Structure 1
Amino acid sequence: MAYDEGLAELMRRDLDDLFDLKEVRMFGGICFMHHGNMLCGVHKTGALYRVGKEHHSKALMLDGVEEMTMTGRSMGGLVDVSLDAIGDDELRCELLALALDFTGSLPAK
């Protein structure tokens, strides 16, 4: 398994009130799709949130949040949250709010 199942369960609880949510294996972990759009996910070294370019700078100012990179490239609009930081309920709540604001502006797929 490439991701921490306990972390995935923590994120599932955060997302429990959302409808039209689907789990998809992606990036060696699990991504949570809301209305068909990637919202957030877990991977072996932490979590990611799709906050969009509009909220990217704000998210990066939070402790434990960095730019999401894959194969050395920055993934615009996605942020990476360290394993140490992801246990912070307030941080997850703030990042989820930013991600929901962004993905809520996208058409459902």
Structure 2
Amino acid sequence: MAYDTGLTERIADCLRDHAFIESRAMFGGLAFFINGNMLAAVLGDELVVRVGPAAWEGALALPHARKMDFTGRPMRGFVTVDPAGIEDDADLAAWLDRGIAFAGNLLPKP
């Protein structure tokens, strides 16, 4: 699966001021990590955000969000955001902040 390079560039711009951010190919897309923990990914033209189990239901109630169902079985704690939900840079940044709030508080991975 190819991923939207324009979206990945927008994400990189949003994350450039955060320390310990890296990206790598994953799930057929490009994933972003903080301290070695995935916070978000781009699959096609959609954003996947790791919000964590406690914030999952609340995130699913937001416009343009749905369960991440990559394998036919939804992954609890991950949401997929449709392109309409991240057209605006402020909306994209808000979703990334949700991912940072969860993944940034996990123990760093080597």
TM-score normalised to structure 1 length: 0.92
Deviation at 1:41, TM superposition (A): 1.2
1:22 positional shift:
1.0
Corresponding letter in the other structure for 2:106: L
Moved runs in structure 1, 4+ residues, more than 6 A?
A: none
* 8 Å CA contact retained: 1:2, 1:29: yes
Q: Secondary structure at the match of 1:69?
A: coil
Q: Number of residue pairs matched?
A: 109
2:25 matched to which residue of 1?
25
SS, match of residue 48 in structure 1: strand
Segments of 5+ residues of structure 1 without an aligned counterpart are none
Instruction: Specify every segment of 5 or more residues in structure 2 that has no aligned partner in the other structure, as ranges.
Output: none
2:37 corresponds to which residue?
37
> Paired residue for 2:67?
67
Q: C-alpha deviations, 1:4-29, integer Å up to 9, x for none?
A: 10011111111111111111100111
Measured after TM superposition, the shift of residue 106 of structure 1 is 0.7
How far, CA to CA, are the matches of 2:20 and 2:55 in structure 1?
Answer: 23
Counterpart Cα distance in 2 of 1:45 and 1:57: 23
Q: Name 1:102's counterpart in structure 2.
A: 102
8 A contact 2:2–2:28 mirrored in 1: yes
- What does residue 76 of structure 2 align with? 76
Kindly indicate whether residue 58 of structure 2 is the aligned counterpart of residue 50 of structure 1: no
Match of 2:90 in 1: 90
Output the CA distance in 2 between the equivalents of 1:33 and 1:19.
Answer: 10
Instruction: Say if 1:64 and 1:85, in contact at 8 Å, map to a contact too.
Output: yes
* Offset of residue 86 of structure 1: 1.7
2:37–2:104 CA contact under 8 A, matched in 1: no
